[in-house]
Chains A and B, each alone.
Chain A
């Protein structure tokens, strides 16, 4: 299957810019969807909600130690695609996923594969900060505890501290670990959720508009954090802010009505979009 995609990529790559802009209705993906050392490999993914198709034949790789951002007008299927990557869509009635999605060569939609450990490997940070209505400590300790990642209280304490440190929250909360996580500010809550996610040592982190509920200062802190996390994790982030995509990501994917229109180096996409729809979107003529 990967050979056909490469062939398709080459064919698209071979088209001239003039050819492309004269055919704005073409929905074949422009740009190279593959990376040299992929962590996740998605091929021809279709998603239906009931009879309505929300994702149409999307192929995309997520590489090691890179941040891939997904942009596009709202309702184009960014969240839907992201939620396929840790099988979060399983919880939605009537949602059907087809195609192949692999994590380190293993098909995650394989019949025998258990989504529970998968979600420990592919962590997720949601749009709205959603800490558990428990203490800050419990929020971070929950994941390691259910997976049995630590052997004793001291190890767990150390893991909680390390996770909070990585999320840049330790100094702010170290004196009140026993207070409810819901009592923190929005930005702190989101960083707590990030700490909760990295506490189970995932390999990939999915973020669905993690800053949309945050003020600019909190946003800046989270963006800095994402950049630091790249050293250890693969990150896929959905964002409605093109500036944010430009700041945090190495590669950008532009979605449009369920189609993946264009993929490329973030610099390239924002300075030199090849597809008419991408250009319209990033120049603000659309969406």
Chain B
């Protein structure tokens, strides 16, 4: 190998050539690693930025401002006849109670305009707050209590610092005298920020302080459950048939191509299809979880089929041969051996499909989920909206207080997405080391 050449020049050994190029090769490797690292860091940075922005904007929505007021539950106003009839109690004018209380606390405010301004420090939901208390405990009638009442969203924004008190009055939503009142209340300890339960227990509302995501959450829940029930069995069935039983011919090729294409169709198209077919043709009630899940099933089905087929493909053929070899029928082979092994992959695909469906907005706008629905849905055929559409609607609202609620709703949506993806990862971990 190392014979001296006849020319007399010392022969170059291969290892010398290798060594000479080594430095260059390592440099290239380092460069490549650096580029990769930069890409990862950039990606993480953007995610961190997104989270920081959303959490920074949204975390305040989990608190809500309340104002304390010494309030007399005047029997003459609530229940003049003293019957304690719930119907009477329900229809009483609780707004008048608040006005009377304000007259007592601010006797110096007499101008009509100022009285109105004073009253609008409280949410339009404050009277119903009082009504609920009376309905729960009629014994309060006739007594005087210190009550905490829901503040208006402008006051809430002022307290949370989103409204700059140093701005000239004409550029501010809250007038100077209101700021004065608020500062006095603050000094007296009559203003408090409490955990915002309304956000989690109420449907949406035109008033930000009364708007919650419960309606959208329930809508999302019903929609996703039905989507899963529809698309998982169909998806798995289709995948098993195509992967394990269907003959390979022109037709199955065509089906395969179309499934892959379907996965790439823009989701709005599915919405239009749903509008035309499910609502137009079959008369499924619009803006319900039922029609939403039909549309989302169409959308997730290709994802589900592709993931399930990949899961089936990853089951080693030797397992099928082993089962067939001892005389299992093709169906037994599937149900006893292949499906259990493919199930984690299929479930992962299902969860990812569901996560897709969870975040989907565009097709749902087409089938009326954008309607303004205050009631919390309690079934598959109740009018409902879903979380991402709710976010879309709130993001469109002009009130400052909806900005933080939008971000808070995004936080909830992201939390669900992360949970679902975590479940997918855990599922994979849990079952992967089976063979």
- Residues on A facing B (Cβ under 8 Å): 86, 88, 91, 93-94, 116-120, 123-124, 126, 128, 130-133, 142-143, 146-147, 182, 193, 196-197, 199-200
Contacts and interface: CB of A to CB of B under 8 A. Distances in A.
A116 B325 CA distance: 9
Interface in B313-371: 316, 318-329, 332, 336-337, 341
Interface in B211-249: 247-248
A87 B318 CA distance: 16
Contact of B318 (A117, A128, A200): A128
18 contacts: A91-B324, A119-B326, A119-B327, A123-B325, A126-B325, A130-B321, A131-B322, A132-B319, A132-B322, A132-B337, A133-B319, A133-B341, A142-B323, A142-B336, A147-B327, A182-B434, A196-B326, A200-B326
A90 to B, nearest CB: 9
Given A116-B329, A120-B327, A142-B326, 13 more contacts: A91-B324, A117-B327, A118-B327, A128-B318, A130-B321, A132-B322, A132-B337, A133-B341, A133-B435, A146-B326, A146-B332, A193-B322, A197-B326
A88 B325 contact: yes
B326 A182 contact: no
A88 B327 contact: no
Contacts of B323: 132, 142
Contact of A130 (B319, B327, B341, B434): B319
A126 B328 contact: no
Contact of A200 (B247, B248, B327, B332): B327
Contacts of B319: 130, 132-133
A197 B327 CA distance: 10
Where chain B touches its partner, the secondary structure class is: helix
A123 B327 CA distance: 8
Of A88, A142, A143, the most chain B CB neighbours within 10 A belong to A142
Nearest to B327: A120
Interface of B: 247-248, 316, 318-329, 332, 336-337, 341, 434-435
A248 to B, nearest CB: 20
Contacts of B337: 132
Given A120-B327, A146-B327, A182-B435, A130 B322 contact: yes
A122 to B, nearest CB: 9
A130 B248 contact: no
A108 to B, nearest CB: 13
Closest 5 CB pairs of A and B: A120-B327, A130-B318, A143-B326, A133-B435, A124-B325
A196 B321 CA distance: 13
A126 B247 contact: no
Nearest to A124: B325
Contacts of B332: 146
Of A94, A126, A132, A200, the most chain B CB neighbours within 10 A belong to A132
Nearest to B247: A93
A93 B434 CA distance: 29
B320 A116 contact: no
A145 to B, nearest CB: 10
Given A133-B341, A182-B435, A116 B318 contact: no
Contacts of B321: 88, 91, 124, 126, 130
A182 B341 CA distance: 14
A93 B249 CA distance: 10
B324 A88 contact: yes
A197 B322 CA distance: 9
A133 B342 CA distance: 12
A147 B337 CA distance: 16
Contacts of B318: 126, 128, 130
Given A131-B322, A132-B323, A146 B434 contact: no
Contacts of B329: 116
Contacts of B320: 91
B325 A86 contact: yes
A200 to B, nearest CB: 6
B327 A93 contact: no
Contacts of A146: 326-328, 332, 336
Contacts of A200: 326-327
A182 B434 CA distance: 9
Given A133-B434, A182-B435, A119 B336 contact: no
A261 to B, nearest CB: 28
A119 B322 CA distance: 11
A238 to B, nearest CB: 15
A133 B315 CA distance: 11
Contacts of A91: 320-321, 324
